[in-house]
């Protein structure tokens, strides 16, 4: 497919960012934290002392509320990848917005030159 057939609604940098966005893998906008908790078993040594059981928790904001979700230990590594991918997408969205603002500014300048006003 010839690349020039595309309508020119962005410039080279914009296309580069779009290609990156297309390569995004499953993502999530949240953060993963590993904390320690008590298991709830009254016979466990944690019942008397400090929390000793590692637990993975996903947290995110919904409006003003912070929501949390337990992450099973076998999925922790995978979920950490989703979180990283979410950050990457957020950064790419900011880059794309910047690229499009620049595109607009350049178009405006070109127009002014052409009309001579
Ligand atoms: Zn325990």
pLDDT band of 8, cuts 50, 70, 90: confident
pLDDT at 7: 62
Q: 94 C-alpha vs ligand 1 centroid, how far in Å?
A: 44
**Sequence spans of domains, the chain:** 24-115
**Do 105 and 16 meet the contact criterion of CB atoms below 8 Å apart?**
no
Contact present, 51 and 37 (Cβ < 8 Å) = yes
Q: Which two tokens stand for residue 24?
A: 């995004």
**If you average pLDDT over residues 52-79, what whole number do you get?**
95
CA 94 centroid distance within chain: 11
Determine phi and psi for 49, rounding to 5 degrees: -110, -145
Taking every pair of Cα atoms in the chain, the longest distance, rounded to a whole number of angstroms, is 84
Q: How far is the CA of 55 from the centre of ligand 1 (A)?
A: 12
Distance 50 CA to ligand 1 centre (A): 9
Q: Give distance in angstroms: CA of 36 to centre of ligand 1.
A: 10
What local confidence, expressed as pLDDT, does residue 2 receive? Answer: 55
Q: Is 70 in contact with 57 (CB distance < 8 Å)? A: yes
Per the CB < 8 A criterion, the answer to whether 14 and 29 are in contact is no
Q: For the chain, what is the mean pLDDT?
A: 91
Q: Measure 52 CA to ligand 1 centroid, in angstroms.
A: 6
């Amino acid at each position: 497919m010839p690349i020039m057939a595309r309508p020119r609604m962005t410039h080279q940098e914009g296309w580069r960012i779009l290609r990156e966005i297309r390569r995004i893998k499953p993502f999530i906008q949240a953060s993963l934290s590993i904390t320690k908790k008590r298991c709830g078993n009254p016979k466990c040594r944690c019942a008397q002392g400090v929390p000793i059981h590692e637990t993975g928790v996903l947290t995110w904001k919904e409006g003003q509320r912070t929501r949390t979700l337990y992450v099973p230990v076998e999925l922790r590594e995978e979920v950490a990848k989703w979180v990283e991918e979410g950050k990457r997408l957020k950064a790419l969205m900011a880059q794309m917005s910047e690229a499009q603002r620049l595109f607009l500014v350049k178009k405006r300048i070109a127009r002014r030159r052409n009309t001579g006003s």
